[in-house]
Structure 1
Amino acid sequence: MQGKVALASAMLVLTGCASVVNDTSHPIKVETLTPQGQAVAGAECKLSNDYGSSTMKSGDTAPVRRSSKDLDIVCKHPDNPDATARGISRANGGMFGNIILGGGVGAIIDHNKGTAYTYPTWVQLVFGKALVFDRSNEKEGTPAKPTEPAAVSASK
C-alpha cells in the first residue's frame, strides 16, 4: 500500500514539469532591418498566435504567450514595405523532463497549456521579405538564422 501511495505522490509531483519550470510566456526581441542590413528601430510590430496578439516596437523585447503553434510577426514602417515572419516553436527541456520523469500526463498538460514550447528569442525581420525563424536554428546570444519559404510552384 505504501508503495502505491509513494508512486501516486511522485506522479503528482512530476506531472506538469514544464508548467513549474516555464512561465506561460517568454521574451522575444524583434529587430527590423533594411534589405541592406541597416537597423530600423520603432517599426510597429504585431505578434500573433493561437492565444492572441500583441504589439510592440521593433528594437524592443516583449513577452509572447508560449504555444505549439507558429507565431506570425508583421512589422510596418512608413518608409519601408512590410516585414513579415513566422516563428516556429519547438519543445523545450520541460517537455522532455515530463516524458522521462513524469510520463505522458505532464506532457499532455504542458502541451495543451503551451508551456512546453519556446519560440526563437531574437529575430531580425527584413523589410520587403517574408522569413521563417525556427527555434531549432537558434544559437544562444545571437539572432536566429532565418530561411526564406520555398516559392510555390506555378505549375500546380
Structure 2
Amino acid sequence: MTLAAITSVGCSTITQNENQTLLLTASYQGNPVDAECRLKNDKGEWYSEAPASVSVRKSNEGLEVTCKKEGMPDGILKAISRVAGSMYGNIVFGGGIGAMIDHSKGVGYDYPDQLPVKMGESVVVDKKPNKQTTAQQTTH
C-alpha cells in the first residue's frame, strides 16, 4: 500500500457524502401526525412534510427543526452534530489537514438518523446513548 493510500484512509471528504438522509416524524400526545417542517443549520434550510426522509447538508453545527400543524402547538427539535468516526482517521493518518477540510465542509460530522418531533414540546436528540431530553413548551 502506498503512503498516499495510507494517509487518505480516514478522510471523510473521500469516504463520506456532504449530505445525510434523516427520518423525520411528528407526533402529538403519542399519535403520529402530518406536519409542515423546516430544518435549518449553518449550511442551509430545507422544508418537508413529516413523516418523510429528508436529505440535509452535514455541519459541525446543530440542526434545528420546527414543525407546525394548524390547531396544535409547534414542535421543536434540536439534533446535536457529532464527529463521525472517519474524522478520527484524518487526525491519526492525515496529520490533521484532512480533518480541517472535513470540519469546514461538514462531512466529518453526523446527525442522529431519526428526528422524532413532538408537537408542543422542545426536544434535543443526540447520537450518544441516553442523551435525549424533552421540555414542555408553554403556550400563551
TM over 0.5: yes
- CA separation in 1, counterparts of 2:112 and 2:72? 24
- CA separation in 2, counterparts of 1:68 and 1:14? 21
Q: What is the CA distance between 1:52 and its match in structure 2? A: 1.3
- CA separation in 1, counterparts of 2:48 and 2:76? 14
Q: Does 1:40 align with 2:54?
A: no
- CA separation in 1, counterparts of 2:9 and 2:62? 25
Long gaps (5+) in structure 1: 1-5, 139-144, 150-156
Counterpart residue identity of residue 64, structure 1? V
Counterpart residue identity of residue 23, structure 2? K
Determine if contact 2:10/2:88 at 8 Å carries over to the other structure.
no
- CA separation in 1, counterparts of 2:83 and 2:132? 19
Q: Does 1:89 align with 2:81?
A: yes
- CA separation in 2, counterparts of 1:79 and 1:22? 41
Q: 2:119 aligns with which of 122, 127, 130?
A: 127
Q: 1:21 aligns with which of 11, 15, 28?
A: 15
The structure richer in strand per residue is 2
1:114 aligned residue: 106
- CA separation in 1, counterparts of 2:129 and 2:120? 22
Determine if contact 1:15/1:103 at 8 Å carries over to the other structure.
no
Determine if contact 2:39/2:64 at 8 Å carries over to the other structure.
yes
Report % sequence identity: 35
Counterpart residue identity of residue 87, structure 1? A
Q: Does 1:147 align with 2:140?
A: no
1:51 aligned residue: 43
Q: 2:25 aligns with which of 3, 24, 31?
A: 31
Q: What is the CA distance between 1:79 and its match in structure 2? A: 2.6
2:90 aligned residue: 98
Long gaps (5+) in structure 2: 136-140
Q: Does 1:63 align with 2:63?
A: no
Runs of at least 4 residues off by over 2 Å: none
Residue correspondences, number: 134
Determine if contact 2:36/2:48 at 8 Å carries over to the other structure.
yes
Determine if contact 2:10/2:93 at 8 Å carries over to the other structure.
no
The structure richer in helix per residue is 1
CA RMSD across the alignment? 2.0
- Map Cα deviations across residues 121-148 of structure 1 (whole Å, 9 max, x no partner): 112111100110112238xxxxxx7312
Q: Secondary structure at the match of 1:136?
A: coil
Task: Provide the TM-score with structure 2 as the length reference.
Answer: 0.87
Task: Provide the TM-score with structure 1 as the length reference.
Answer: 0.79
